[in-house]
């Protein structure tokens, strides 16, 4: 394998990840605005994004901080939101698990919804990719996304409430997750898990400290796992 093919894989990943900037930018700006409104300094807001690099978990933790929730609840909620990263990691292990430790450590830091969704789709589509090409592709998907997450978090923190309300930056939150989640609902188990989680989240809405989110996630995963076992026991896989 030549360096040219590795470069090609990187730039292919870059092109696949680039469209997500359209939703990552307003998503990050919104976090920057809300974080400073909640009392964090510009530096604290930026460091929050650099350290965590997980939009949904950051919004969850920020909301609970504003509500003066106990630290244990904040940590548990953020971990529950990010529990999907453990599943992403397990899914990518057959493709990236043989790389040097330093590469895996960097990849773990940059494992976000966008890098996972693009990478796993590409790996399944092109089974001839070498491990070096897979690594290059993964980092290519990250290159346009994560730097913009930092930059626009800073922009949001600096401009604060000067952003006109009619810009409706909060649209980026549901749009991002719809764009990432819907294509991944490939089996009946995935669909059941999503529908059950949505139903439980709606029914449990109003519980203190966003506990509905944790409960919905756990129940949804249990429902999906049970559906998968039920289908396998009957020799069906849809």
pLDDT digits (tens, 9 = 90+) for 175-202: 656 655 665 666 787 788 889 988 988 8
pLDDT for the residue numbered 30: 84
Residues contacting 4, CB < 8 A, separation 6+:
none
Mean pLDDT of the chain: 84
Residues contacting 219, CB < 8 A, separation 6+:
196, 197, 200
Instruction: Please tell me which residue, 219 or 81, carries the higher pLDDT value.
Output: 219
pLDDT for the residue numbered 151: 95
pLDDT for the residue numbered 172: 57
pLDDT for the residue numbered 106: 95
Question: Would you say residue 1 has pLDDT above 50?
Answer: no
- Spatial separation of the C-alpha atoms in residues 29 and 155, rounded to whole Å: 6
């Amino acid at each position: 394998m030549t360096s040219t093919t590795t470069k090609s894989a990187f730039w292919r990943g870059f092109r696949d990840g680039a469209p997500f900037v359209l939703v990552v930018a307003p998503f990050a700006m919104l976090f920057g605005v809300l974080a400073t409104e909640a009392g964090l300094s510009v530096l604290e807001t930026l460091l929050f994004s650099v350290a965590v690099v997980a939009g949904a978990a950051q919004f969850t933790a920020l909301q609970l901080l504003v509500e003066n929730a106990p630290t244990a609840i904040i940590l548990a909620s953020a971990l529950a939101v990010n529990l999907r990263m453990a599943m992403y990691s397990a899914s990518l292990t057959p493709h990236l698990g043989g790389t040097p430790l330093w590469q895996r450590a960097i990849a773990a830091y940059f494992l976000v919804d966008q890098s996972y969704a693009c990478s796993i789709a590409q790996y399944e589509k092109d089974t001839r990719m070498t491990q070096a090409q897979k690594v290059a592709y993964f980092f290519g998907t990250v290159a346009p996304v994560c730097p913009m997450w930092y930059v626009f978090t800073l922009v949001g923190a600096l401009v604060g409430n000067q952003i006109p309300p009619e810009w409706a930056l909060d649209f980026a939150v549901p749009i991002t997750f719809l764009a990432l989640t819907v294509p991944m609902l490939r089996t009946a188990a995935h669909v059941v898990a999503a529908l059950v989680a949505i139903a439980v989240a709606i029914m449990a809405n109003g519980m203190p400290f966003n506990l509905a989110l944790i409960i919905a996630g756990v129940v949804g995963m249990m429902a999906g796992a049970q559906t998968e076992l039920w289908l396998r026991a009957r020799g069906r896989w849809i």
